[in-house]
Amino acid sequence: MYGSRGVRAFAARRTSAAILGTALLMTACSSGGDGEGDGPDKSAGAEITQQPKDANPFWVNPEGTAARQMADLGADGKKAEAEQIRKIAEQPAAEWISPENPEEQTRGFTEAADQAGRTALLVLYNIPHRDCGQYSQGGAADGDAYRAFVDGVAKGIGDRAATVILEPDAVLHLVDGCTPEKFHEERYDVLNGAVDKLKSLKNTTVYLDAGNAGWGDPDQIFEPLKWAGIDRADGFSVNVSNFYSTEESIAYGKRLSAKVGGKPFVIDTSRNGNGPYTGGDAAERWCNPPGRALGEAPTIKTADPLVDAYLWVKRPGESDGECKGGPKAGEWWEDYAVKLAEAGD
């Protein structure tokens, strides 16, 4: 298995972007800046409010997958399960932008977040030759298609506040041998272009993905990060869709930061409450490992000044892929979601 051992989370199956954007705006407009509704609401997000902005400024999607699953469980009389899923639904999780109508998607998410007085957390995961033919294989057809995708994302964001995690594993796979040499020049070019395009926006923060604490050594990736544009990004992300502890991730990130000009970083803490799985086949320990738990809630109040935020980049409850009985990558898996929440107590 490749060094990432874990970014198999592309949520390709999304509601029509135009419909979704309209629904999100309607939800946002019917709620106050802190998510307080004006009256009875029968929607999935009726009980979902925003987190305190001073510690957690990222937008909670009141119509997200976890919120809808929580509502369905409650309607079916499964109150205990619904309360477990609430632990996921009430926290901000990233929206993974699919290649269909990226402008409409990002406009819908950022407008809804803006109406709630929050920042949208977005992931771009559409690099050509993505995931080296594994569970989340695919991506844009070529460099031009990817540039058009990024252009659409940028138009959709506009001047609204957004934090973007840029291409999980894209740089790492240039280092670990996963991505063939013939694609390297194009990948560096489109990553640089994406950083420049997104940083040209008024209120967009960009973190270029930099792998995780278990894949290898920071000495192996710091130069490729520079070639990919880290100097113009706001920082880098670590542990996306993975399970390494916050302490391990901080140690890895600080070593890497020292080699890229002291750049700050963010950590995906969505499922790292019990650290990495050490049993079974080492090649698939990243894929739906048992016994994992939700990690620290998203916050900008972290344990180290170099860590800008703990984020839930991977959406807890969505499968890593068709392993250990799981559904396809990005699809909701109720049993796994409930166990993550239970173990996080």
The residues annotated as belonging to the active site are 131, 169, 320
8: Cβ contacts below 8 Å, ≥ 6 apart: 131, 134, 135, 136, 241, 286, 287, 320, 321, 329
In Å, how far are 5, 64, 106, 145 from 139, measured between CA atoms? 18, 23, 18, 9
Give the helix/strand (H/E) hosting 162. strand 162-166
How many whole angstroms separate alpha carbon 35 and alpha carbon 113? 11
Rounded Cα gap, residues 185 and 129, in angstroms: 13
Helix (H, G, I), strand (E, B), or coil: what is residue 175? helix
Q: How many helices (DSSP H) and strands (DSSP E) are in the chain? A: 10, 7
The residue count of the chain comes to 345
Cross-strand bridge partners of residue 335: none
Contact 2, 178 (CB under 8 A): yes
